[in-house]
A and B are shown apart, each in its own frame.
Chain A
Amino acid sequence: MNWILPEGASLDFEGLAAPLRIVRGLGGGTQGQVYEVELEGERLALKWYLPACIARDAGLERRLAASIRATAPNDAFLWPIALLRASPASRPLIRIREESFGYLMPLRPAAYVGASEHAAGRLAIGLRQVLRACFGLADAFHALHLAGLCYKDVSLGNLFLEPGGGGILICDNDNVAVDGADHGAVLGTPGFMAPEVLLGQARPGADSDLFSLAVLLFRLLTRHDPLKGQMELAIRCLDEPARRRLCGEDPVFIFDPVDARNRPDPIEHAAALITWPIYPRPLQALFEQTFCRGMKQPSRRALTGQWKQELARTLDQRSLCPACGQENFQAAGAPALCWSCGSPLPEPITLALPRGSVLAAPDNELHPHHFDALVGEDLRRPLARVVAHPQEPRRLGLCNLSAAAWSAEAADGRSWPVGPGESCSLAALTRILTPAGPIAVQRPIPPAPAA
Chain B
Amino acid sequence: MPFPDVKLANRPLHFLYLCDCSGSMAASGKMQALNQAIRQSLPGMAAVARDNPEARVLVRAVSFADRAAWHIETPTPVDQLEWRDLQAGGITAMGAALQLVAAALQTPPMEVRALPPVLVLISDGQPTDDFAGGLEALRRVPWAQKAVRLAIALGHDADLEVLQRFIGSEPATGGRSPRRPLQAGNATSLAQYIQWASTAVVGAASMPASRVSETPLEPAAGNIPLPDLPPTVLDPTDDVGPVVW
Binds B, one of A10-18, A222-230, A299-307, A375-383: A222-230
Q: How far is the CA of A247 from the CA of B170 in the complex (A)?
A: 30
* A201 CB, nearest partner CB in chain B, Å: 13
Is B211 part of the contact surface with A, judged by Cβ < 8 Å? yes
Is A50 part of the contact surface with B, judged by Cβ < 8 Å? yes
Is B28 part of the contact surface with A, judged by Cβ < 8 Å? no
Is B50 part of the contact surface with A, judged by Cβ < 8 Å? yes
Residue of B nearest to A58 (CB): B214
Q: Are A271 and B11 in contact (CB under 8 A)?
A: no
Which A residues lie within 8 Å of B29 (CB)? none
Q: Are B212 and A185 in contact (CB under 8 A)?
A: yes
Is B108 part of the contact surface with A, judged by Cβ < 8 Å? no
Is B8 part of the contact surface with A, judged by Cβ < 8 Å? yes
Q: Are A239 and B227 in contact (CB under 8 A)?
A: no
Q: A1-B44, A57-B212, A186-B212 are known contacts. Are A237 and B146 too (CB-CB below 8 A)? A: yes
Q: Are B53 and A6 in contact (CB under 8 A)?
A: no
Q: Are B2 and A271 in contact (CB under 8 A)?
A: no
Interface of A is mostly: loop
Segment 184-209 of B: residues with Cβ below 8 Å from A: 188, 191-192, 195, 200, 203, 207-209
Chain B positions 228 through 245: 1 when the CB is less than 8 Å from some CB of chain A, otherwise 0: 101111111000000000
Chain B positions 97 through 125: 1 when the CB is less than 8 Å from some CB of chain A, otherwise 0: 00000000000000011111000000000
Q: Are B212 and A127 in contact (CB under 8 A)?
A: no
Which A residues lie within 8 Å of B3 (CB)? 118, 123, 125-127, 130, 223
Q: Are B231 and A52 in contact (CB under 8 A)?
A: yes
Q: Are B146 and A271 in contact (CB under 8 A)?
A: no
Residues of A within 8 A of B (CB): 1-4, 6, 29-30, 50-53, 56-57, 95-98, 114, 116, 118-121, 123-127, 130, 153, 155, 157, 185-191, 193, 219, 223-225, 228, 233, 235-241, 243, 268-271, 274-275, 278, 320, 325-327, 340
Is B7 part of the contact surface with A, judged by Cβ < 8 Å? yes
Q: Are A155 and B213 in contact (CB under 8 A)?
A: no
Which B residues lie within 8 Å of A56 (CB)? 212, 214-215
Binds A, one of B79-87, B153-161, B218-226: B218-226
A-B contact pairs, 14 of them (CB 8 A): A1-B195, A2-B233, A3-B233, A30-B228, A56-B215, A119-B7, A157-B210, A187-B210, A223-B7, A224-B9, A225-B8, A236-B142, A238-B11, A274-B6
Which B residues lie within 8 Å of A190 (CB)? 208, 211
Q: A121-B8, A238-B113, A240-B225 are known contacts. Are A2 and B210 too (CB-CB below 8 A)? A: no
